[in-house]
Amino acid sequence: MKYNWYYTFSRIKLGIIEESGFITGIFFGDGAGDRDCQTQETPLLKRAARELGEYFEGRRKVFGFPIQPSGTAFQKKVWDAVSAIPYGETRTYKEIAVQAGNPLAARAVGMANNRNPIVIVIPCHRVIGHNGALTGYGGGLDVKEYLLALEILNK
């Protein structure tokens, strides 16, 4: 059974999905990722929300709840590389492509980030353009800028 619940942190509304004891989705807004879910708050969803709340308060840099993102082998390599970016730091799409084993796949890294099922925890907001520009983000560039500023402030 899949469960989901919605929480608002600062000015950001997130939906969180749990399945089989893992967080399998964190998404922006309403309803985009909660198909086939029972709307019910579970202990794991509460824990994830508490840790996300601590993140938004600047008190948490690493998450401890179990995650299980679903994706292709390449997407998982990208998400592993993105997850290794330290709090308050950034990497370029090219740097992530190199780390994921395909130096010519910067655009594919962008597409993998676009499909990131567990935003913030898999911190795709830390991936920027080669010239330092903030580029596409599922929550909007204003949210990406906000998250990066939050991390830099609390580093």
Catalytic residue among 17, 48, 124, 143: 124
Residue 114 lies inside a defined structural domain of this protein: yes
Residue 36 lies inside a defined structural domain of this protein: yes
Cα distances from 42 to residues 1, 8, 36, 38, 121, in angstroms, run: 12, 16, 16, 11, 19
In this structure, are residues 53 and 19 in contact, taking their beta carbons and an 8 Å threshold?
A: no
The total of structural domains in the chain comes to 2
pLDDT at site 120: 97
47 and 103 assigned to the same domain = no
Please give the residue range of the domain that contains residue 29: 2-56
- Residues, the chain: 155
pLDDT at site 31: 62
pLDDT along the chain (155 residues), means of 10: 93 94 92 77 98 97 97 96 97 96 94 96 96 88 95 93
129 and 99 assigned to the same domain = yes
What is the pTM for the complete model shown? 0.94
124 tagged catalytic: yes
CATH of the domain at 84: 1.10.10.10
83 and 140 assigned to the same domain = yes
